[in-house]
Amino acid sequence: MWQSTDKSIWTGRDDSSEGALALRLFQTIIVANEFAPVQYANHTALLGFMCDEGVRLNKGRVGAQEAPNVIRKAMANLAAHNSHNKLVDLGNVLYQDTLIASQQALAECVTQCQQQQLKTVVLGGGHETAFAHGMGIYKVFPNKKIGIINFDAHLDIRLSKEGSSGTPFKQLADYCQEANRPFNYLCIGASLAANTGSLLNTADELGVQIIWDTECNNQNLANILARVKQFIESVDIVYLTVDLDVLPLSYMYAVSAPAAYGVGLDFLIAVADFIKNSGKLQAADFVEFNPALDNQGLCAKVAARFVWQILLNW
């Protein structure tokens, strides 16, 4: 269920004649031929999760399984600066057989990376990515208080017997209850128009903290950062998950459920940088981009820029 990344994806413009610092990601990234995190201690692992079965089960528009390599291609030509040379591409986990089997495979890859002190960046796929990524983090840090911060128009805590892209945080909450661990979840950018009363009741029962999309503007940034700071201080490790449908459709229309209101990229990057600079960020993923709905690769560029920003100085 694992596949190395085709090295031809990592290509771009060669400006090396201009000097030793004229480098782009395709020139600094390490593309692994085998899945061997032990060889790359203190690096950041880039993994793809080529799965959108959860989107199908959630009655969404499929196509996100093709996103990991498309985002990589959009990242390849971006300039390499501080810490970008610590990035190792450890390939893709493929969807096979069942959703849960594929999620277990990704969780195991994340576990192996984190055990070797590699931070993990996962490119989805649907938001079912988060259940797998989160379980990998919980497994490696059994005695740590994990904080989940989700940039998302949706709370993704649906009540369902079957896992999907709409259930990952309810599944993680269920795990925490079974394991007698605290469930700490902050959703930033949620849309009241996109979350039913049933979901709000579930959020209340689980103690979910919500910052609504209507609160997320630059005039209110200081207040939001104060709330994020309080959340971060209450946990030991932060796992950031970014559902790209949190962005306005003018930025990100190539998702299953585009946001008519959404939260601007400048605001989200400011909050993401704040989270990163806390020193507690251990893992991040970017999900729900659907290349089949993209026009001229514009949304791929937005996704790539967001991933690049997280990797900068991390």
Per-residue pLDDT, 82? 86
State how many domains the chain has.
1
Per-residue pLDDT, 83? 84
Per-residue pLDDT, 100? 97
Which helix (H) or strand (E) is 210 found in, with range? strand 209-212
- CA 152 to each of CA 11, 40, 68, 105, 253: distance values in angstroms, whole numbers, following the listed order: 31, 31, 19, 25, 14
Q: What is the CATH number of the domain that holds 236?
A: 3.40.800.10
**CA angle (99, 201, 160) in 5-degree steps:** 20
172 DSSP assignment: H
- Report, as ranges of residue numbers, the positions in the chain whose pLDDT lies below 70: none
- Radius of gyration (C-alpha) of the chain in whole angstroms: 18
Rounded CA separation 44/35 (Å): 14
The gap from C-alpha 206 to its chain's centroid, in whole angstroms, comes to 22
23: nearest Cα among 70, 71, 78, 73: 78
Tell me the pTM: 0.97
Tell me which residue range forms the domain holding 27: 2-311
Rounded CA separation 309/314 (Å): 9
Q: How many CB atoms neighbour CB 130 within 10 A?
A: 31
Bridge partners, residue 120, by sequence: 45, 283
Q: Tokens 């946990």 appear where?
A: 235
Residue 147: both structure tokens together: 């904080």
Rounded CA separation 242/311 (Å): 14
